[in-house]
Amino acid sequence: MEYRIEHDSMGEMKVPADRLWAAQTQRSHENFEIGVGIETMPAEIVHAFGILKKAASIANNIVRPEKMTDEKKAAISAACDEVMAGKLNDHFPLVVWQTGSGTQSNMNANEVIANRGNQILGKKLLHPNDDVNMSQSSNDTFPTAMHIAAVIALENKLLPAVEELVATFKRLEAENEGIVKSGRTHLQDATPIKFSQEISGWRSSLEKDIELIRRSVEPLYELALGGTAVGTGLNAPKGFDTAVAAEVAKITGKPFVTAANKFHSLTSKDELVFAHGAIKALACDMMKIANDIRWLASGPRDGLGEIFIPENEPGSSIMPGKVNPTQCEAVTMVAVQVMGNDVAVSMAASQGNFELNVFMPVCAYNFLQSARLLAEAIVSFNKNCAVGIKANKEKMHHNLHNSLMLVTALNPYIGYENAAKTAKKAFKDNISLKEACVELGFLTAEKFDEVFHPEEMA
């Protein structure tokens, strides 16, 4: 491999000749060989750095044009466009497990953008610190990147995925209107319910989750940029913070604004904790929905068997013909991961000491993994399972009329205690509710038929 010599304030470093990063990135690459190639800084953060560095060059060109010339701004913007498009992803090798402020990732962005900008210009004009990092600090850029990445992940990926599943459930509600089945509480038989009503519970839960996530996004629109090292804004000219936030909003099409209190923005991650809590709520509901569906589809002969779900792949290496609810299992595993990530995000956010939180990379890593995994799992679940759900009407009818809890309909006519006796006798003697009720002398056969209509109980 060929190398070139780069330098920083600590001296010279050998850097692979075909890479755009420079000395500080190389130092981090060598000093933190933890999860290399697996747990690198999320691409969403790299993309967000492209957005904020471009916005910073434009804002600096407005507030200090003597330093950020039109030529420098144009070169930085062009390089940032490539970062935002993912064209330079191979030049961002750093792992999550680095300095807790994300300083090395900020410098990785500065070095790559400076070197790529110089390539575009055909001359060495841009300096990573003096130009690309102008009016900024790692301490305000990384939390800004976190908020930008979080908003984009939630609004552009997770919410559309959930909305698509909601649409599927709405269709299934309409298709299954009028089908009555046995309800279940405590995993035991309960009173009847329409299948459409059961589905509506799933749909409504997801709609509530969408509402909660949208509410949680609002605080994330506030950006730390302009706070620099400790929140005072040292070395950032007046007006830079509002100008750079306006440019980020323009680039992303989202209503980002400068944070009112930069001391809070640098040290507290409560906005991310709040938003991840909404993601966790969605994960909890997806766990419930996926479990309901795989229970209802259990069998095909020895389970509940009340619904059919798509058969996507063989389910066993030894049992021929076995098919498993694999999409449900994937969703539930992702839900568990998200719940675990919530602990990591919470613990990371609790580590704001004095003027800075130094657990930001792990906070960002877990937050973005949750949003990404849940979005992709929901898309897969919808496409490969939910859209193909079909009611097994015959099994639903059989289970409904075999349920002892239909005796609840008799309460107004024979009272709770007599109804309980009826149910217990029917179960003990393995006879129907009608037979038990008549044998006990609580109702005549004709009166039982007159008042007992399971389909009307829903």
Catalytic residues: 186, 316
Q: At what angle do helices 103-121 and 138-152 cross, to 10 degrees?
A: 90
Residue 260 is classified by DSSP as S
Please provide the DSSP assignment of 10-49 as one string. TEEEEEETT-S--HHHHHHHHH--SSTTTSBPPHHHHHHH
- Three-state SS for 57-118 is HHHHHHHCCCCCCHHHHHHHHHHHHHHHCCCCHHHCCCECCCCCCCHHHHHHHHHHHHHHHH
Residues in CB range of 369: below 8 A, 6 or more apart: 42, 337, 341
Q: What is the C-alpha to C-alpha distance for residues 75 and 125, in angstroms, rounded to an integer?
A: 9
- Spatial separation of the C-alpha atoms in residues 22 and 24, rounded to whole Å: 6
Cα atoms in the Cβ-side hemisphere of radius 13 Å centred on 451: 18
Provide the residue count of the chain.
458
The two structure tokens encoding residue 396? 């639903």
- Rounded CA separation 111/127 (Å): 8
The full DSSP string for 213-244 is HHHHHGGGGEE-TT-TTTSS-TT--TTHHHHH
Cβ–Cβ < 8 Å for 110, 91: no
